[in-house]
Amino acid sequence: MRLLLVEDSARLAELLGETVREAGWRLDAVTSIADAEAALALSEHDLVLLDLGLPDGNGLDLLRTIRRQHKDLPVLVITARGSIEERIEGLDAGADDYLVKPFHHREFLARCRAMLRRSPTALQPVLECGGLRFDPATAELSCDGVPVPLPPRERALVELLMRDAGRVVQKRKLELTLSEFGEEMTANALELAVSRLRKKLQPLPTRANLVTVRGVGYMLQAEA
């Protein structure tokens, strides 16, 4: 799952960013309408979290643009503007849900989950390789039915490798896909994530091996 956060308050963006990443989703965080439009053009997102008071305009205008260009992309408006009229205006402009600040992070997550259940990513089948299972809807890895807790980066990495299990995934592709807006994943960071993932997989009763293909990339391969 990849979320786009459009929020100009650095403090709130940091808090929501942490919450979203801990849930196992990737996040692109931007602070203006212009950057949000650029991010939407660059990558596919499963959910947009939208603040309304933005430095270069009203988030409702961005919402109307999103509705024209990405008809099915769910949008959760997050704002301090909580009067009945404002909520109605937001929903009429195309918001799927509306959350008024301040809110509890658990309610925020529950609303995100509710919206993500309908996203095309959530409808993707569970990935399997050599006893490992990864459920794209919950972003959870398990081995022979036992959950395997992973930090966000390694979780995203194992998902990408399982999607292409048995095939080499190029380093460059992994770097690009794992990069979040404004925070690029370097070759060193990728190597580190791979070695951490390998350590996590090692003690598991899995028949999947994480293979390094020198100079090309990595492959998750189930033993025959």
The site for Ca ion (CB under 5 A) is made up of: 8, 51, 53
User: Of 37, 1, 45, nearest to 20 (Cα)?
Assistant: 1
- The secondary structure of residue 9, as a DSSP letter, is -
If the CB atoms of residues 55 and 145 are measured against Ca ion, the closer one turns out to be 55
If the CB atoms of residues 51 and 154 are measured against Ca ion, the closer one turns out to be 51
What 3-state DSSP class applies to 67? Answer: helix
Minimum CB separation of residue 212 from Ca ion in Å reads: 45
If the CB atoms of residues 16 and 193 are measured against Ca ion, the closer one turns out to be 16
Minimum CB separation of residue 8 from Ca ion in Å reads: 5
Minimum CB separation of residue 79 from Ca ion in Å reads: 8
Contact 161, 169 (CB under 8 A): yes
If the CB atoms of residues 58 and 69 are measured against Ca ion, the closer one turns out to be 58
User: Of 93, 106, 103, nearest to 48 (Cα)?
Assistant: 93
Rounded Cα gap, residues 60 and 125, in angstroms: 34
- Which residue's Cβ lies closest to Ca ion? 53
Burial class for 75, CB neighbours closer than 10 Å (0-12, 13-18, 19+): buried
If the CB atoms of residues 10 and 211 are measured against Ca ion, the closer one turns out to be 10
Q: Is the alpha carbon torsion for 57, 13, 85, 92 positive or negative?
A: positive
The Cβ of residue 175 has, within 10 Å, a number of other Cβ atoms equal to 16
Contact 141, 155 (CB under 8 A): yes
Contact 212, 169 (CB under 8 A): no
If the CB atoms of residues 60 and 156 are measured against Ca ion, the closer one turns out to be 60
* Strand pairing class (208-213; 217-222): antiparallel
